[in-house]
Structure 1
Amino acid sequence: MWECQTSGTRSDPDLVERRAEQLMKEFVRARARGDKPAMQRWWGELLALQFDRLTAMVKRHAQGVVFGSEVDDAISEAAMRMALKAWRQHEGDTVGSFNAAMSTVCRFSCREVQRKAARISERRAGSLDAVPRDGREAQGWAASTYADFEAERLRAHAEEEERRETLAADRDFVAWAVPQLPGRPREVFELLLEGRTPTEIMERLGMERNAVDQNKRRAVQALRKLKEQYPS
């Protein structure tokens, strides 16, 4: 039944937006109750509804980063992370916060696929003839290879932890600062956080492109000033 609702809803942007808001409210209620199965259900339905947006976000973040079939890999990676992990950590209560989280996941997934592709390429570049034949030398080679692998794993783990800490800090600051922005700059910036394109913002707010860009700059300038006042 839900698949029918989703496919019919996607063709109407207004219906998509209303349905997304409804699903997010259900997710927030389930989170308040501590009902994880319900949280996962509503999150999954919201993700299904917003899957076209996820695909578009990945393609945007993929430019100059991953290519060809790697883009499909990044879409799969992002969808998996959103479905299996993101709902557990999400603290927002708006569709905008969902889209902002999805954009971050899409960007990270593109980078992760890029790193995986680079590692595969490096391994393929190495010749099997380089593997030592002598027993002791082979043991040393294996130990060195394992050490390199372990170092790479630890580095990736450290990067992920740093990314999470940065995201948490940025999320807290944005939640504190954005409501303090003046009217139009706030409206433009909130739509940007939702993942809206400049064209979509122009249509939504009835503005010219230069007005969108101008209000975006004003929002960024105001946020920089607020950053100095942010209670760390």
Structure 2
Amino acid sequence: MPSDPETGSQAAGPRHVAIIMDGNGRWAQARGRPRLFGHHAGARRVREVVAACPDLGIKYLTIFAFSTENWKRTQAEVAGLMNLFRRYITKEARALAERGVRVRFIGDRVRLDKKLIALMDQLEKLTETNDLINLTIALNYGGRDEVARATRRLAQDVADGTLLPQDVDEETLPRYLDTRVLPDPDLVIRTSGEARISNFLLWQSAYSEYEFIDTLWPDFTAEELARLCASYGGRERRFGAVIA
């Protein structure tokens, strides 16, 4: 659980871990294989990480699967990724449901194809009563896009008279975000050696702890996740406070 925002204290293990899964393409290219080979390997790694969460005390896991900027990749890679998402949902749905995983998707669905959207809806419905792990998949997601969409909804409520401008504060906007039913992440992990947040959970991660690691996502293991969680547990979270 996070420390007291007023006083700060040593953190216990993270309750909510968010992961920027990076390095699939480079992992594949290093093996002389096409980039999609790496994406398939990365999808298999998700299964292992989800399974490890209960023993590590992780109640919420949020993974960055496809960003609003990823449409700039080649048409072949984008098409391959969309096919991979459809296959993953179809193949993993029953296992996720049986393991007590509740699945949610965040991001703008408008640009996704109807078959994929239908599968996403079905998986959310199938797992909606589960509560062992909350797995959130960010698909066609961007932090700035999320805030823009939330602001439009908020502005519409103001225009409709159901929300007064003077009542808008920093507690208001989160109620319009895709993640409104989730706690903010305690720990954000970025794999592959890149040290940037890539437009991921911009509002929600204001006081998250970060780990930037060199491991490429297909090589990421449950053991490494455990190590990072243990490291997080040794940190002092201050939330802006000064500790005497």
Whether these two folds match at TM > 0.5 is no
Q: Identify the structure with the greater strand proportion.
A: 2
Q: Identify the structure with the greater helix proportion.
A: 1
Q: Which has the higher contact order (CA 8 A, sep 6+)?
A: 2
